[in-house]
Amino acid sequence: MPERLDLMRWSLRLGAVPVAGFRSSRRHVESTVGSRARLVVLLGVVLAATIAANMAAFGFYDSILGSLFDPDGPFGERQRAALTAIFVSSSCIVSSAIALLIAMIVPPHSRIALSARIAGASRSLIAVGEFLPTAALIAIVVIASSGASTAVIASHQQFPVITTVSLVAIASAFGIVALIVRDAVVIGAGLLKWSDTASRSVGMLVAILVTGAMIVDIGTGALQQRTSVVARCLVWLWSGRSAPTTFVDAAASIAVLLALVALACLTAAGGGLQQPLQVGWRVLAARAVGRPSAFINFVIREALLYIRHPVTAVSLISMAVLMAAGVAAARTGLIPAEAIVIFFAILCAAGAETAHGRTRRVR
């Protein structure tokens, strides 16, 4: 009976921080969106769009690429491995980008760490507890965003379920890596007494650069008919097979994942070191642009304030880098030009979201 009581106490202790963290984050997002009703509508639309997009993408991938995976088709073993590697790497990159976006919408400062510490919770318990909702969110969004490609790959593997689970786990792990890179840089910059804004901006930039390097790695790997470094690491981890089929391989994958989660817990403890979105620096008075009409004055001033906002600056720089990579990919024929146009539209939409966020009062 005492053991049962202890177990209950531990489950209560382990569950308290994640539940409170989830509630707090949910309300933060609600206040960002405007209300709970709006959030529900938004999530409904996103869910419907995600299902539709995944169904369409699955049909597209399966009809175009299905035959390429056929062992009796024109592609050899090496080409099929390269194709698989591109799919896997793309999932990892998308999840990294998603993780960074999630990091921008979740509360920038921990809302519960201090209260939990006062109540006697250890730092590690708080770190793990606060990170779990974020990790779960990353996993959910990764599944939603890469469901179609994962399903296509899995349907052509010997063990579809293991392939699906491991792909989602590895893609989620890459998302966590992006957060670790960002938080590690932020903490390092903090130790160097940089300002919060500078630390966060540099952290985001480094994480984006790491992701960019992975894109370049995939692009050059595909052009040179070799697999990317990421894919080679995975292939090495999986002992040359396209999915972990032995207990040791699966255990190794899980160990890597857990190590990454532990690292993330250490670096993301207490919700990271970001600052909430704030008003841009008001360095430009309306009179500095002469005496045009009030409307033009307003537009110029707001545009300049938008550009000078730290988050916008990071967003614009990353947009420029990614657009350059996109143009290069389109010119080399690696990615169809139509797909690049859609990609640019998404990037611009992200910038617009930042503008919207800058003008909102976020609690």
CA 341 to chain centre: 21
When binding is defined by CB under 8 A, the residue of 17, 143, 169, 231 that contacts other proteins is 17
The conformational region for residue 272 under phi > 0 = left, psi -120 to 50 = alpha, else beta, is left
> Count residues contacting other proteins (CB under 8 A)?
28
What residues between 25 and 44 interact with other proteins by CB under 8 A?
Answer: 27-28, 31
Q: CA-CA-CA-CA torsion for 17, 23, 24, 26, nearest 10 degrees?
A: 140
**Residue 114 lies near other proteins (rule: CB under 8 A):** yes
Go through the chain and tell me how many residues it has. 363
When binding is defined by CB under 8 A, the residue of 84, 94, 111, 271 that contacts other proteins is 111
What's the CA gap between 103 and 88, in Å, rounded? Answer: 23
Provide CB contacts within 8 A for 78, sequence distance 6+.
225
Nearer to other proteins, 118 or 283 (CB): 118
When binding is defined by CB under 8 A, the residue of 2, 3, 4, 12 that contacts other proteins is 12
Nearer to other proteins, 12 or 294 (CB): 12
When binding is defined by CB under 8 A, the residue of 9, 38, 331, 360 that contacts other proteins is 9
Write the single-letter amino acid at 123.
R
CB of residue 100 to other proteins, shortest distance in Å: 22
Q: What's the token pair of residue 143? A: 């599944």
What residues between 264 and 323 interact with other proteins by CB under 8 A?
Answer: none
Q: ∠ CA 224-164-82 to the nearest 5 degrees?
A: 10
CB of residue 85 to other proteins, shortest distance in Å: 42
What residues between 115 and 134 interact with other proteins by CB under 8 A?
Answer: 115-121, 125
Provide CB contacts within 8 A for 359, sequence distance 6+.
none
**C-alpha distance from residue 317 to each of 17, 74, 209, 345 (Å):** 36, 42, 11, 16
CB of residue 111 to other proteins, shortest distance in Å: 4
CB of residue 29 to other proteins, shortest distance in Å: 10
Q: What's the token pair of residue 288? A: 């500095």
Nearer to other proteins, 117 or 301 (CB): 117
CB of residue 360 to other proteins, shortest distance in Å: 16
Locate the DSSP E strands across 196-343.
none
Stretch that binds other proteins, among 23-31, 81-89, 166-174, 354-362 (CB under 8 A): 23-31
Q: What's the token pair of residue 256? A: 């890597």
Nearer to other proteins, 71 or 120 (CB): 120
When binding is defined by CB under 8 A, the residue of 107, 108, 147, 271 that contacts other proteins is 107
**Residue 24 lies near other proteins (rule: CB under 8 A):** yes
Burial grade of 252 (CB within 10 A; 0-12, 13-18, 19 or more): middle
Q: Phi/psi at 205 (nearest 5 deg)?
A: -60, -45
Nearer to other proteins, 129 or 221 (CB): 129
Answer positive or negative: Cα dihedral of 238, 244, 250, 253.
Answer: positive
Locate the DSSP E strands across the chain.
none
CB of residue 48 to other proteins, shortest distance in Å: 28
When binding is defined by CB under 8 A, the residue of 102, 112, 177, 215 that contacts other proteins is 112
What's the CA gap between 176 and 256, in Å, rounded? Answer: 12
Instruction: Look up residue 279 and give its DSSP letter.
Output: P
**Residue 10 lies near other proteins (rule: CB under 8 A):** yes
Nearer to other proteins, 24 or 227 (CB): 24
Nearer to other proteins, 160 or 270 (CB): 270
Binding footprint of other proteins on the chain (CB under 8 A): 8-10, 12-13, 15-17, 19-20, 23-24, 27-28, 31, 107, 111-112, 114-121, 125, 363
